[in-house]
């Protein structure tokens, strides 16, 4: 078992690399512990709450008790399936704000500014705006990843955007184009009614080539000889095997499993590795550190009018929607139902949005439990750039053990102020004229919850992860002691070993992380192949002219 490149993880970045490397004629073996992504639960967009809660498709990670959230353990789903988390996520497509990537470059990730990454976003996309406006010049038209928009038939989707405008915010036709700030349509990785995961976009086409294959196994450690990665030790059934890499080993196992695998291989904080009896190959204190995520609240309202998705929340309707989708790939089953969105700034003096909204025309939890009130709708809202940082560490030296995941959510005082602001700004949006035909009353937090202390108690009890963990193998300058990989994605201190997935983000980007994770795979492919990067783009993003003095 050997190939030019051995990739650990058939997730968002791993699939993209398998496609690009095999396209260039290199041989690729992808190691994936999870199983097939076939089947309606994964492929039907509207069924998104199922795979995320199925042991078969999800690693089932949980955080340690979070001290600032009443010691709750928060779910941290990661895809254990072909396609990785792109096969179980909410399919929301957000590139991130241009200034996010400019910050990466300032943090030492040279060559990762927005001008550098925009050409890769264009290369990976086939963008379909569905006649809803947008910025064609900023978008790609012939990439493997189809990006579309929902039909937005439900009047609540329009009400949300109209209410934002009435509250004085910008409207944007394409938050992935020149102007992220404002209210507008949301984009999804859905094509012809199917979830367009990284597996459907990249891996399945790559597997049709002779040069690419998947090995079902659990990666135990990277085999490093004389400072060079030469392969990966895997467990298949009760057998240990080594899969050898002629050129390089690439870890793309997620922001939870990538640092775990590095530490099991002897790359990480020396004292922590010694605690577990692991021989130190490279003392990199940054491995597992810098863990970041987005937290969000579901602000829910009961609806006066029975037009929400609650009318389909019964067995007969679900069966009908399922059957229509199965035979025609159309109807309610063909959208993730996140069809309107917004990005706004929390206060004056912030140059670009730091709050994200997902709007949903039903009041429901991520695990599929619907609000007791029946007909309702909700906005998922949360701050984008918390200063709180956590860590992924080893529980033991046994590769079969889950790592310890401590996000340290809400550990920065600014987090509390930001979340209270989120709730108050959201109430103001739902209080606009556009929602008066629909709003019956506030379900959650509830109109009585007003003071800072009351809001803080609600946040402590109800803040949920948006499932955007990243940052645990931070990219930075080669001489940065806290960096894990250099701007070429090479692990500092080990030859022929790279990490390319969301764990290398220096700082979390605005919005959902699937798009930037795939972009990392695209850009890393050119680095692995020794190609010159795509030519930089010169497009200047929109920035609110009064950002220094006005919140909207």
Could you list the residues known to form a binding site for FAD, using ranges. Answer: 81, 89-92
303: number of Cβ within 10 Å = 24
Q: Where are the alpha helices (DSSP H) in 2-144?
A: 12-23, 40-43, 98-106, 114-124
Residue 13 and residue 84: Cα distance in Å, rounded? 9
C-alpha R_g of the chain? 22
Catalytic one of 68, 375, 380, 468: 468
362: number of Cβ within 10 Å = 22
Listed in sequence order, the residues at least 6 apart from 155 whose beta carbon sits closer than 8 Å to its beta carbon are: 307
Omega within 30 of 0 (cis) for the link into 405 = no
In this structure, what DSSP letter does residue 509 have? Answer: P
Q: Which residues on neighbouring strands pair with residue 391, listed in sequence order?
A: 406
Residue 283 and residue 266: Cα distance in Å, rounded? 8
Residue 310 and residue 225: Cα distance in Å, rounded? 58
Omega within 30 of 0 (cis) for the link into 210 = no
Binding-site residues sit at 81, 89-92
Residue 187 and residue 340: Cα distance in Å, rounded? 8
Active site residue 468: yes
In this structure, what DSSP letter does residue 332 have? Answer: G
In this structure, what DSSP letter does residue 425 have? Answer: H
Q: Is 400 exposed, middle or buried (CB count within 10 Å of its CB: 0-12, 13-18, 19+)?
A: exposed
CA distances from 267 to 73, 449, 486, 498 (A): 28, 48, 15, 12
Closest to 430 (Cα-Cα) out of 165, 84, 163: 163
- Helix or strand or coil: residue 475? strand
User: Which sequence positions are flagged as catalytic?
Assistant: 468
């Amino acid at each position: 078992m050997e190939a030019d490149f051995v990739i650990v993880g058939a997730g968002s970045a791993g699939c993209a690399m398998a496609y690009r490397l095999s396209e260039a004629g290199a041989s690729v073996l992808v190691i994936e512990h999870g199983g097939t992504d076939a089947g309606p639960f994964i492929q039907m967009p509207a069924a998104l709450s199922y795979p995320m809660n199925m042991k078969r498709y999800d690693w089932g990670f949980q955080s340690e008790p979070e001290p600032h959230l009443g010691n709750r353990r928060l779910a941290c789903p990661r895809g254990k399936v072909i396609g990785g988390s792109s096969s179980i996520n909410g399919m929301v497509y957000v590139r991130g704000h241009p200034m996010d990537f400019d910050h990466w470059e300032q943090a030492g990730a040279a060559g990762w500014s927005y001008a550098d990454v925009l050409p890769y976003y264009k290369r990976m996309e086939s963008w379909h705006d569905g006649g809803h406006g947008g910025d064609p010049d900023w978008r790609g038209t012939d990439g493997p990843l189809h990006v579309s928009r929902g039909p937005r038939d439900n009047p609540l989707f329009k009400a949300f955007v109209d209410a934002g405008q009435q509250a004085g915010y910008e409207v944007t036709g394409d938050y992935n184009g020149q102007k992220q700030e404002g209210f507008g349509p949301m984009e999804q990785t859905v094509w012809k009614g199917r979830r367009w995961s990284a597996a459907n976009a990249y891996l399945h086409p790559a597997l049709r080539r002779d040069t690419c294959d998947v090995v079902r196994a659990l990666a135990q450690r990277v085999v490093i000889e004389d400072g060079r990665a030469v392969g990966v030790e895997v467990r298949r059934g009760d057998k240990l095997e080594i899969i050898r890499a002629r050129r390089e080993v690439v870890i793309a196992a997620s922001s939870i499993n990538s640092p775990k695998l590095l530490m099991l291989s002897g790359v990480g904080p020396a004292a922590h590795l010694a605690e577990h009896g692991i021989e130190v190959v490279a003392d990199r204190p940054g491995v597992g550190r810098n863990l970041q995520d987005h937290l969000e609240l579901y602000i829910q309202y009961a609806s006066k009018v029975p037009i929400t998705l609650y009318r389909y929340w019964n067995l007969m309707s679900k069966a009908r929607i399922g059957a229509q989708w199965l035979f025609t790939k159309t109807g309610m089953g063909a959208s993730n139902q996140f069809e309107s969105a917004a990005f706004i700034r929390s206060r004056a003096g912030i140059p670009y949005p730091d709050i994200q909204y997902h709007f949903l025309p039903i009041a429901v939890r991520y695990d599929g439990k619907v609000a007791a009130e029946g007909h309702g709708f909700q906005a998922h809202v949360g701050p984008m750039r918390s200063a709180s940082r956590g860590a992924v560490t080893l529980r033991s030296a046994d590769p079969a053990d889950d790592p310890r995941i401590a996000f340290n959510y809400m550990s920065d005082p600014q987090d509390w102020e930001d979340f209270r602001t989120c709730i108050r700004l959201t109430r103001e949006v739902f209080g606009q004229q556009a929602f008066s035909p629909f709003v019956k009353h506030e379900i959650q937090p509830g109109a009585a919850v007003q003071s800072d202390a009351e809001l803080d108690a609600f946040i402590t009890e109800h803040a949920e992860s948006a499932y955007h963990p990243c940052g645990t193998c931070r990219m930075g300058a080669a001489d940065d002691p806290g960096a894990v990989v250099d701007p070429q994605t090479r692990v500092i201190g080990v030859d022929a070993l790279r990490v390319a997935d969301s764990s290398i983000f220096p700082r979390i980007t605005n919005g959902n992380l699937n798009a930037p994770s795939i972009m990392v795979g695209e850009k890393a492919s050119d680095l692995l192949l020794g190609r010159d990067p795509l030519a930089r783009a010169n497009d200047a993003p929109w920035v609110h002219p009064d950002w220094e003095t006005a919140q909207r």
